[in-house]
Each structure stands twice: as C-alpha cells, then as structure tokens.
A and B are shown apart, each in its own frame.
Chain A
C-alpha cells in the first residue's frame, strides 16, 4: 500500500550524513532527457519530459510534463557531434532571442551548434543531446 512519510531531516542509522528533506527535494533534478536529434528525433530516456519538437536543424523544443514553478530554473545542455574537424559544441538557448520565449515554466527551446577554428557558429543535428533541469516544481 502506498504511504506518505512526513519528515524534516534524513540521517543514516548512525545519525551521520544528515540531510534536510528540503535539500533532497531542492537538489534533485526535476527533468532530464537524453535524445537523438537526427532524422526523426527520438527520446532515448527521460524524466518529467512530455515531448520534443524538431524546429529545424539543431533546433529543438523540449516540453516539461509537470511544470516548473517559475522560469528561473537552472538548465544545462550537452550535445555530441561526430565531426572530423576540431570544434567546440554547445547545446543551449539560441543567440539573439527573447529568452522568456525559449525558457518557460513548461519548456526549453535549445539549439545545438558548433564553432570551428575556421567557421562561425553553425547549427547541427546532434545524434545525442541532453538537458538537465534543476529548480523548483510548481
């Protein structure tokens, strides 16, 4: 039978390693996703993600299932790219946009992009792109 435990602090049985339950809730990731952004995009695994949308090359909307409390949450992206040329790869909010449109309580819209020594920022479809969100749930 399901049960609810109301408690302020957790410790181990030896009274060591105590942690307030507020840290447990506040420190846990509220959403994460590992997705394939090439071809027909697909979610490999996720937590609290209801869907993804392919908006174009390297441009993805990731929708959160249970919304965040506000849009001030921490969001981190990582993208992989099989590329023979040395490059720096990013996965995050796009340049020159109104951030409030791309990071709301219910979604983030991220772009995967690379910079080469000889080329400017260019979007790419990533075969593995990941986002992790920490913050407060609604």
Chain B
C-alpha cells in the first residue's frame, strides 16, 4: 500500500546528520545528507541580474568578465566540497573551477571562450555543490 510521511525535518536517530537511504539495487545504502546537493544556480552571466533560479544562494556577484561568485545562505562545513559546473551556452564555454581558492561560504566560477581561452561572459550556465553542510 502506498504511504505518505508528512514531516518538516528528517533527523537521524543515532547521528542527527546521518540518515541512510536504501539504494536502487536494494543491496546497499547511501547517506542521504551527504548525497544531496547543497547549492545550485542557473545563471546568465551576460545579464545584469544573472540568477535565473537557485537553491541555498544568498547572492550572486559579477566580478568582471566571466568571473562569478555565488555566496551560500547556509555555509558548507569546509572548502573541500565538490563543485559541478557546466555551460549550456551555444558557444560552449570552457569553465575553470576557481572554487579551490575560496572558503566554505562561496562557489567561484570563471568562464572562458573556446576560441582563445580568454575570460568571457556565458549566456547560460549552471553551478552546483556536493559536500557537507556546516
């Protein structure tokens, strides 16, 4: 019988920040909290108001051509998160991860043009973060 659980917050019993979810093959479990994306943003870096939609994002700063910084609302536990970046721009910009230089509360991206690798605004791009929340 189908069932529905109504709840605002899910918390582990043994460890508050750890809930196991059974995997698709029914033979193992995965950590729910660690597997969830902690931030995502779809943006148009060529426009004055770049963010189209986002999750856990406090602000988006355009630091210059192709150079963007996204600040999180709820910070990450450390700077060792795993960024995911991609461009849907027809010009297929290369995207450099500059996240390494930053802290637990921002994600940085630099987009470059494919023809000469110079910094270039990107019309449509996405950025997401996997990792541990603070």
A interface residues with partner B (beta carbon < 8 Å): 1-3, 5-13, 15, 18, 21, 24-26, 28-30, 32-34, 44-45, 47-48, 66, 69, 76, 78-81, 86-90, 115-117, 127-128, 130-132, 136-138
With a CB–CB cut-off of 8 A, which chain B residues contact A26?
24
List 8 additional A-B contacts (Cβ < 8 Å) besides A1-B13, A138-B28: A10-B5, A34-B82, A66-B30, A78-B84, A80-B98, A80-B99, A89-B94, A117-B116
Asked if B130 and A10 sit within 8 Å, CB to CB, the answer is no
With a CB–CB cut-off of 8 A, which chain A residues contact B34?
29, 32, 47
Asked if B96 and A138 sit within 8 Å, CB to CB, the answer is no
User: In the complex, how many angstroms separate the beta carbon of B6 from the nearest chain A beta carbon?
Assistant: 5
Which of B114, B131, B132 has most A Cβ within 10 Å?
B131
Asked if A130 and B24 sit within 8 Å, CB to CB, the answer is no
Asked if A132 and B4 sit within 8 Å, CB to CB, the answer is no
A115 and B116 alpha carbons, distance in the complex (Å): 10
Asked if B22 and A25 sit within 8 Å, CB to CB, the answer is yes
A130 and B123 alpha carbons, distance in the complex (Å): 24
Asked if A86 and B112 sit within 8 Å, CB to CB, the answer is yes
With a CB–CB cut-off of 8 A, which chain A residues contact B3?
6-9
B48 on the A face (CB < 8 A): no
1/0 per position for B99-119, CB-CB distance to A under 8 A? 111000000000010111111
Interface bracket on B: 35 or more
Given A28-B35, A86-B118, check contact A11 B6 (CB 8 Å).
yes
A79 and B95 alpha carbons, distance in the complex (Å): 10
Asked if B82 and A32 sit within 8 Å, CB to CB, the answer is yes
A11 and B116 alpha carbons, distance in the complex (Å): 49
B interface residues with partner A (beta carbon < 8 Å): 2-8, 10, 13-14, 21-25, 27-28, 30-32, 34-37, 78, 80-86, 94-101, 112, 114-119, 130-132
A81 and B27 alpha carbons, distance in the complex (Å): 39
With a CB–CB cut-off of 8 A, which chain B residues contact A90?
94
With a CB–CB cut-off of 8 A, which chain A residues contact B7?
10-13
With a CB–CB cut-off of 8 A, which chain B residues contact A66?
23, 28, 30
CB contact between B4 and one of A9, A78, A117, A128 (< 8 Å): that residue: A9
CB contact between A138 and one of B2, B27, B99, B118 (< 8 Å): that residue: B27
A138 and B24 alpha carbons, distance in the complex (Å): 7
Asked if B23 and A29 sit within 8 Å, CB to CB, the answer is no
Question: Which 10 A-B pairs have CB atoms at the shortest separation, nearest pair first?
Answer: A88-B94, A137-B23, A28-B35, A128-B100, A45-B80, A136-B24, A130-B82, A44-B80, A80-B100, A86-B117
